[in-house]
Structure 1
Amino acid sequence: MDTKDVPVTYVESNVSLYEEDTERIKHEIFNEKPDISWSSIIHYLKTRIPTLLDLPIRHSEKTWYQIVNPLPGLRQMSRSDYNFYFLGFFAWTIDAMDFFCVSVSAPDIALTLGVNVTQITWGLTLVLMFRSVGAVIFGLMADYYGRKIPYIIICFLFIVVELGTGFIQNYHQFLAVRSLFGILMGAMYPVASVTALENQPDAAKSVLSGLFLPGYSLGYIFAMVFYRAFQTTFKEGEGWRSLFWFSAGLPVILIVWRSFFPESEAFLRLKESKKKLNTDNEKGGFFSKIDTSVWITIKTEWLMFIYLVILLTAFNFTTHGSQDLYVTLLTKQYGVGPDLKTIIVVVSNLAGIVGGIVVGSFSELFGRRLAIIICMIWCGAFSYPAFFDAKTNWWAYSLLTGGVMGAWGVAPIHLLELVNASHRAFLSGVVYQLGNLASSAASTIEAKLGERFPIEGAAPGTYNYGKVMCIFCGAIFASMVVILVLGPERFHKDLTIHLPGEHQEEEESSDISSREEHDTTYKS
Structure 2
Amino acid sequence: MALRFLRSLIPRREKRNNGGTLRALRSLTFIQLLQFVTGWLAWTCDAFDFFCVALSVNTLAEDFDKKPGQITTAITLTLLFRSLGAVVFGILSDRFGRKWPLFANLVIVCSIEIGTSFVKTFPQFLAARALFGVAMGGIWGLAASTALENLPVELRGLGSGIVQQGYACGYLLASMVNLTVIPHTSHGWRALFYAAACLSSSTAILRALTPESAVFLRAKALEKINGGHATGDKTKIFIKETKAMLKAHWKLCIYAILLMTGFNFLSHGSQDLYPTYLETSKGFSTHSATVATMISNCGAISGGAIAGWASQYIGRRLTIVIFILLVGAFIPLWILPTSFSALAAGAFFLQFGVQGAWGVVPIQLAEMSPPAFRATFPGVAYQLGNMISAASAQIEAVGGSNIRTTITVGGVTKNVPDYATVQGILIGVVAAYLIIVTILGPENHGTHFESAKTAFEGGAGADEMQNVGMGKPRSIRELEGKDDDEVV
CA contact (8 A) 1:270 1:422 kept: no
- Say if 1:298 and 1:270 are closer, same or farther in 2 by CA, change over 3 A: farther
Work out whether 1:145 is the aligned partner of 2:99.
no
Q: What does residue 359 of structure 2 align with?
A: 409
CA offset digits 1:32-73 (Å, max 9, x no partner): xxxxxxxxxxxxxx9x995752464772699x9x74x84333
Amino acid at match of 2:283: G
Once superposed, which parts of structure 1, at least 4 consecutive aligned residues long, lie more than 3 Å away?
A: 48-52, 54-58, 269-280, 284-289, 456-461, 504-508
Work out whether 1:78 is the aligned partner of 2:29.
yes
- Of 394, 416, 434 in structure 2, the residue corresponding to residue 480 of structure 1 is 434
Superposition map of 1:76-225 within 5 A: 76-225=27-176
CA contact (8 A) 2:261 2:389 kept: yes
Q: What does residue 327 of structure 2 align with?
A: 379
CA contact (8 A) 1:379 1:477 kept: yes
- Say if 1:167 and 1:498 are closer, same or farther in 2 by CA, change over 3 A: closer
Amino acid at match of 1:372: I
Q: What does residue 447 of structure 2 align with?
A: 493
- Say if 1:507 and 1:123 are closer, same or farther in 2 by CA, change over 3 A: same
Amino acid at match of 2:394: T
CA distance in 2, matches of 1:385, 1:250: 35
Q: TM-score of the superposition, structure 1-length normalised?
A: 0.80
Amino acid at match of 2:203: L
Q: What does residue 301 of structure 2 align with?
A: 353
Q: What does residue 6 of structure 1 align with?
A: none
Larger radius of gyration: 1
CA offset digits 1:384-431 (Å, max 9, x no partner): 120122533320221010011110111100000001122111111000
CA distance in 2, matches of 1:139, 1:491: 23
Amino acid at match of 1:241: R
Work out whether 1:470 is the aligned partner of 2:419.
no
Superposition map of 1:190-339 within 5 A: 190-235=141-186, 239-270=188-219, 290-291=236-237, 292-339=240-287
Question: Which is further off, 332-341 or 422-431?
Answer: 332-341
- Say if 1:464 and 1:201 are closer, same or farther in 2 by CA, change over 3 A: same
Q: What does residue 30 of structure 1 align with?
A: none
CA contact (8 A) 1:270 1:497 kept: no
CA contact (8 A) 2:371 2:452 kept: no
CA contact (8 A) 1:131 1:183 kept: yes
Amino acid at match of 1:466: A
CA contact (8 A) 2:168 2:297 kept: yes
Work out whether 1:388 is the aligned partner of 2:310.
no
SS at match of 1:168: coil
- Say if 1:276 and 1:340 are closer, same or farther in 2 by CA, change over 3 A: same
Superposition map of 1:436-475 within 5 A: 436-456=386-406, 462-475=416-429
Question: Which is further off, 384-393 or 485-494?
Answer: 384-393
- Say if 1:173 and 1:77 are closer, same or farther in 2 by CA, change over 3 A: same
Work out whether 1:368 is the aligned partner of 2:298.
no
SS at match of 2:403: coil
Q: What does residue 41 of structure 1 align with?
A: none
CA offset digits 1:116-142 (Å, max 9, x no partner): 111111111111000000000000000
- Say if 1:171 and 1:296 are closer, same or farther in 2 by CA, change over 3 A: same
CA offset digits 1:333-387 (Å, max 9, x no partner): 1121233323211121111111011111111222111110111111101111201
CA distance in 2, matches of 1:264, 1:351: 31
- Say if 1:450 and 1:505 are closer, same or farther in 2 by CA, change over 3 A: closer
CA distance in 2, matches of 1:214, 1:293: 32
Deviation at 1:489, TM superposition (A): 0.8
Amino acid at match of 1:454: R
Q: What does residue 428 of structure 1 align with?
A: 378
CA contact (8 A) 1:70 1:207 kept: no
CA distance in 2, matches of 1:286, 1:344: 53
Amino acid at match of 2:66: V
SS at match of 2:75: helix
CA distance in 2, matches of 1:61, 1:451: 51
Question: Which is further off, 263-272 or 123-132?
Answer: 263-272
Q: What does residue 21 of structure 1 align with?
A: none
Deviation at 1:161, TM superposition (A): 0.8
Deviation at 1:435, TM superposition (A): 0.5
Deviation at 1:473, TM superposition (A): 0.3
CA offset digits 1:469-518 (Å, max 9, x no partner): 00110000000011011111111111222689xxx98559xxxxxxxxxx
**% identity of equivalent residues:** 34
- Say if 1:270 and 1:404 are closer, same or farther in 2 by CA, change over 3 A: farther
CA distance in 2, matches of 1:245, 1:368: 38
CA contact (8 A) 2:406 2:415 kept: no
SS at match of 2:269: helix
Amino acid at match of 1:59: R
Gaps of 5+ in 2: 458-467, 473-488
